[in-house]
Amino acid sequence: MTVDTDFAEDDDAAAGTPPRASSPGAPSLGAPPPPPAAAAVFGPALDEARAFAGMLATRGVEWGLIGPHEVPRLWDRHLLNCAVVADLIGSRYRTLVDIGSGAGLPGIVLAMMRPELTVTLLEPMERRCRFLSGCVAELGLANASVLRGRAEDATLRADVATARAVAPLDRLAELAVRVVRPGGLVLAIKGQTADAELRKARPVLRRIGARGAKVVRAGQGKVDPATTVVRFFAT
């Protein structure tokens, strides 16, 4: 696998080199404090999650990766929403690719939660890749790397593919099966449209040979609301 971390300048990189963020465990300027559920969900990764929240609330907003109106709900809507997806990834899996990683949701969060996983953050946009690389370095995530590219062009084959707010399920399914091995797991984080998207995507899922496609809820009893995920397996 070729990991592109020495990014050339282009129009999308006009923001320049990202500023340094606080180290893990330090107070996160601009980020709301974690809610009580965060300690139970993140466990030993809570300090990293606090530092990442600070990066999202400052640099993430400045670079346009998240909207400023999202900052007050960073924990409930974004960080916790992604963290509980780790519950759906069995211990036998060793590699994960996060398609269209963007601000690192869920890829960076899952790398924190599951340090035994090798996580590839697959992202086509230069500025987002710079943001992701800065976060990975500052958080000390030795198990995560950034690969600039698109799923349709990638040559990697991971055990698990994740995606959040990338594309409708019928399109996403075709992208995901390109980057997972045969029998690999695909987890698409969706919201209220999950059931409707799954119904619409059934013809595509049959065509690509996907197995066991269903809507599941991650984090029930841990977060409210639970995270809605469409899960299926590649063939």
Strands 95-99 and 144-148 turn out to be unpaired
The mean pLDDT of 139-147, rounded to a whole number, is 98
pTM over 0.85: yes
SS3 149: coil
Percentage with pLDDT > 90 across the chain: 86
List Cα–Cα distances, 226 to 84, 110, 138, 192, 221, in angstroms: 8, 16, 29, 11, 8
pLDDT tens track for 72-102: 999 999 999 999 999 999 999 999 999 999 9
**What pLDDT shows up at residue 219?**
97
pLDDT tens track for 2-49: 333 333 334 343 344 444 443 444 334 489 999 999 999 999 999 999
Q: Using alpha carbons, select from 117, 113, 120, 177 the residue that is nearest to residue 147.
A: 120
